[in-house]
Amino acid sequence: MSERIYLSGPMTGLPEFNYPLFHRTARRLREEGHFVFNPAEYPYDGPLEDFPVRTAFADYAEFICLEATAIYLLPGWQRSQGALAEVALARVCRLNIVEMEHEERAEWPEPHFDF
């Protein structure tokens, strides 16, 4: 079954904001037929200090609350304030919560409810 997935994980303080892992994971999930909202693809190309955090997070939250069927958690999500907020929304909205155990995971694991 195809899922509408929100990709969540740590960015702040990581090399390249962890974008390479976000992009690899999104590509793999799309190849498996899923729709993926990848926050690393958020349309912004200005200076980091001017990134519209509130607007971006409102867009992320709107997708999680109104469109997503699952949230896919990248390693280290537990140490990310943004990811923790996204997981809280996912739990309230009763999304499937899937945690990536390691980067090389080859298959989309069976979703489960975690709330």
Q: What is the pLDDT of residues 4-42, one digit of tens each?
A: 999 999 999 999 999 999 999 999 999 999 999 999 999
Q: Name the pTM for this structure.
A: 0.86
Do 96 and 8 meet the contact criterion of CB atoms below 8 Å apart? no
Q: Is residue 21 a part of any domain in this protein?
A: yes
DSSP-derived letter for residue 33 is T
* Tens digits of residue pLDDT in 79-109: 999 999 999 999 999 999 999 976 444 444 4
Report the pLDDT averaged over residues 50-74. 97
Q: For residue 54, tell me if it sits in a domain.
A: yes
Q: Count the domains in the chain.
A: 1
Query: Is 115 domain-assigned?
Result: no
Domain with 57, as residue range(s), is 4-99
